[in-house]
Chain A
Amino acid sequence: MENLLEIRNLKITTLRGKQSVRLLDKVDLNIAKKRSFGIVGESGCGKSITANAILGLLPYPLRVAEGSIRYDSKAGERELLQLSKKELREVRGQEISMIFQEPMTSLDPIFTVEMQMYEALSFHHPGLARGEMRDRALEMLRRVNIPRPEQTLTSYPHQLSGGQLQRIMIAIALINDPRLLLADEPTTALDVTIQAQILRLMNDLKEQNDTSIIMITHDLGVIAETCEEVAVFYAGQVVEQANVVELFGQTAHPYTLGLLRAVTSLGGESRKLYTIPGIVPPGGQWAQGCRFADRCEKCMEKCRQAMPALTEVVPGHLCRCFLHSEEVEQ
């Protein structure tokens, strides 16, 4: 396989009453090796469930209705959606690991940092001696710049700050040298100065290891600082995807443009902020044509009748908009 992860035609549905409601619609993504890939969008656009689907962690009643997620594991190519629970557990934590938004609630409050790190380690390396585990844990804590690692090892989560906990979450996520790290809003709950520390740490770790990162965030600033390739999600679809420089420099989709203008018009001369009217339509209430049509200032007649296809506007830059391509989604 050329890529580390290939998502094809992924559809995720949930149940509302007895009705099946689509939350993610025909998503295709390629995650290259040793790259950092950003997924950006507002809440309810489907970015978190995509990450959860990769690890087989969709909570009931959400489920993958269709599609494939192929992963190039150490032991060869695998279809993640067809793995047994046992096989999935082996992949999880060892080859693909995840860090979450809330470091405060992601660690178990009744165990020390040490025990939680050993647990992650021994699950995938049974038979490791305690001394070896300790050495490995200390090494990881040093790599994520935890001051006084020996002391931190025997601390309980409530004795540590949010920034320290997120470092520890990263240390646990990386302890088995995963090939892919899923980071779901890893800095949203943190202050800016701590966010800057964590983002730098993640950039450094990516350089040092051969780890690919999928960074899921609503913050375009975080994307600009950490990612090489970006996909913009809107209402369960990819609406634009490109190299980060291309995306910020040659923005094609009106939604991406709106998001960028909403943040970059801050601090400008005009006191009036650029706004996208309306709200993100929730799953089940998507329009027939382009799902952004109702909020788009460039909306045309045909946008309401047919859905534009995700097409390449320049090599490597995909966009789903009739302004750039006539192609209709089948």
Chain B
Amino acid sequence: MFKKGKSTKNRALPGNESLLRQLWNDPMGRAGMIGVGIVILLAVFAPWIAQYDVAKMHAKDKLTGPSAAYWFGTDNFGRDVFSRIVYGARVSLVVGIVAVGIAAGFGYLFGMIAGFFEGKVESIIMMVMDVIFAFPSILLALFIVSALGPSIVNTMIAIGIVNIPVFCRTVRASVKTVKSTDYIANARSIGLKKMTILFKHVTPNVMAPFTVQATLALSGAILTEASMSFLGLGIQPPNPSWGSMLSDARKYMERAPWLVIFPALFIIMTILSFNILGDALRDVLDPKLKL
């Protein structure tokens, strides 16, 4: 019989190593961790890293290119692009984490209920999820924000709601898969209580796909925030956000390309890092890939 060529990635680690350690030893995981780490560092230490106040307009230095004084140049108001990007990381991360928190929390709850109590409850929950899912997410988020009014909190709520169905489906699907495995039947035959089975056997096996989904959803949420801000319905000025920076830069694209290039680069790097990290997590969390 053939051994399926699963993954030739570095996985010669015993099962007890910490998760971070294992991620670090995987080349892709390391790349993702470094990328995500940079964004987190920028966000946390923004006041120390940024050279200028984000709102300060340097009237004499409008639309100057990258230089020693302004690393990433200045915009049409003479504001320092580098400082705005550093603070923008804060916005992106906070919006991403809170929105995914909302989505993951409700998604997990509904998904567990739907997966565990089959029948009518499941049908109703999944019907509602399908309805939410049917709207293009950006449209739905825009609709929610225009109803609640544009603000950073409402942006987070909107992105959160839009992402609930993804989590709900992931959790429900894995609960159902885990429920039908032999080792759950085995746990019953041993004489375990239903709640014990749920917490000790089902939950840990659901957590892996759930964590991966959360990492991937973070990148999605950051992207949605950027798109919403780009359309003017996300983060409001003078707060810097990568999306709104891009939006403001449109008019000066030809004269001052750095206004577009740097925020775009950071958006791409952040999204890519989270996605790579998510994929690496998937490998690390699969116990069968460990030797």
- Indicate if A touches B (C-beta under 8 A): yes
Chain B contact residues: over half helix, strand or loop, or mixed? loop
Q: Which of A14, A48, A60, A61 contacts B1 (CB 8 A)?
A: A48
Nearest-neighbour CB distance to chain B for A26, whole angstroms, equals 20
Residue in B closest to A62 when the chains form the complex, CB atoms: B2
Cβ-defined contact, B8 with A44, below 8 A? no
Residue in B closest to A17 when the chains form the complex, CB atoms: B8
Cβ-defined contact, A43 with B1, below 8 A? yes
Cβ-defined contact, B1 with A44, below 8 A? yes
Cβ-defined contact, B2 with A59, below 8 A? yes
What is the CA–CA distance of A44 and B3 in the complex, to the nearest angstrom?
Answer: 9
- Does any Cβ of B come within 8 Å of A15's Cβ? yes
Cβ-defined contact, B2 with A49, below 8 A? yes
Cβ-defined contact, A61 with B5, below 8 A? yes
Give the chain B neighbours of A18 by CB distance below 8 A. Answer: 8
A53-80 near B? 1/0 per residue, CB < 8 Å:
0000001111000000000000000000
Give the chain A neighbours of B2 by CB distance below 8 A. Answer: 48-49, 59, 62
Give the chain A neighbours of B5 by CB distance below 8 A. Answer: 14-15, 59-61
Give the chain B neighbours of A17 by CB distance below 8 A. Answer: 8
Beta-carbon contacts under 8 Å, A166-180 to B: none
Give the chain A neighbours of B1 by CB distance below 8 A. Answer: 43-44, 48
What is the CA–CA distance of A17 and B6 in the complex, to the nearest angstrom?
Answer: 11
Give the chain A neighbours of B8 by CB distance below 8 A. Answer: 15-18
Give the chain B neighbours of A15 by CB distance below 8 A. Answer: 5, 8
Give the chain A neighbours of B3 by CB distance below 8 A. Answer: 14
**B interface residues with partner A (beta carbon < 8 Å):** 1-3, 5, 8
What is the CA–CA distance of A44 and B5 in the complex, to the nearest angstrom?
Answer: 15
Residue in A closest to B3 when the chains form the complex, CB atoms: A14
- Apart from the given pairs A14-B5, A48-B2, A49-B2, 14 other A-B contacts in the complex at a CB distance below 8 Å: A14-B3, A15-B5, A15-B8, A16-B8, A17-B8, A18-B8, A43-B1, A44-B1, A48-B1, A59-B2, A59-B5, A60-B5, A61-B5, A62-B2
Residue in B closest to A15 when the chains form the complex, CB atoms: B8
What is the CA–CA distance of A14 and B3 in the complex, to the nearest angstrom?
Answer: 10
What is the CA–CA distance of A59 and B3 in the complex, to the nearest angstrom?
Answer: 10
Nearest-neighbour CB distance to chain B for A183, whole angstroms, equals 16
Nearest-neighbour CB distance to chain A for B6, whole angstroms, equals 11
Residue in B closest to A185 when the chains form the complex, CB atoms: B1
Pairs A–B under 8 Å by Cβ, sample size 17: A14-B3, A14-B5, A15-B5, A15-B8, A16-B8, A17-B8, A18-B8, A43-B1, A44-B1, A48-B1, A48-B2, A49-B2, A59-B2, A59-B5, A60-B5, A61-B5, A62-B2
What is the CA–CA distance of A19 and B242 in the complex, to the nearest angstrom?
Answer: 46
Nearest-neighbour CB distance to chain B for A218, whole angstroms, equals 10
Give the chain B neighbours of A49 by CB distance below 8 A. Answer: 2
What is the CA–CA distance of A49 and B2 in the complex, to the nearest angstrom?
Answer: 8
Give the chain B neighbours of A59 by CB distance below 8 A. Answer: 2, 5
Residue in A closest to B8 when the chains form the complex, CB atoms: A17
Give the chain B neighbours of A44 by CB distance below 8 A. Answer: 1
Give the chain B neighbours of A60 by CB distance below 8 A. Answer: 5
What is the CA–CA distance of A197 and B8 in the complex, to the nearest angstrom?
Answer: 43
Beta-carbon contacts under 8 Å, A1-26 to B: 14-18
Give the chain B neighbours of A16 by CB distance below 8 A. Answer: 8
Beta-carbon contacts under 8 Å, A265-288 to B: none
What is the CA–CA distance of A14 and B5 in the complex, to the nearest angstrom?
Answer: 9
Residue in A closest to B1 when the chains form the complex, CB atoms: A43
Residue in B closest to A42 when the chains form the complex, CB atoms: B1
Nearest-neighbour CB distance to chain B for A39, whole angstroms, equals 14
The 8 closest A-B pairs by CB, nearest first: A43-B1, A61-B5, A17-B8, A48-B1, A59-B2, A44-B1, A60-B5, A15-B8
What is the CA–CA distance of A49 and B8 in the complex, to the nearest angstrom?
Answer: 20
What is the CA–CA distance of A194 and B1 in the complex, to the nearest angstrom?
Answer: 24
What is the CA–CA distance of A158 and B3 in the complex, to the nearest angstrom?
Answer: 28
Residue in B closest to A49 when the chains form the complex, CB atoms: B2
Give the chain B neighbours of A14 by CB distance below 8 A. Answer: 3, 5
What is the CA–CA distance of A111 and B75 in the complex, to the nearest angstrom?
Answer: 62
Nearest-neighbour CB distance to chain B for A296, whole angstroms, equals 24
What is the CA–CA distance of A17 and B1 in the complex, to the nearest angstrom?
Answer: 19
Residue in B closest to A43 when the chains form the complex, CB atoms: B1
Give the chain B neighbours of A61 by CB distance below 8 A. Answer: 5
What is the CA–CA distance of A44 and B2 in the complex, to the nearest angstrom?
Answer: 8
Nearest-neighbour CB distance to chain A for B201, whole angstroms, equals 29
A209-249 near B? 1/0 per residue, CB < 8 Å:
00000000000000000000000000000000000000000
What is the CA–CA distance of A60 and B6 in the complex, to the nearest angstrom?
Answer: 11
Nearest-neighbour CB distance to chain A for B279, whole angstroms, equals 19
Nearest-neighbour CB distance to chain A for B222, whole angstroms, equals 35
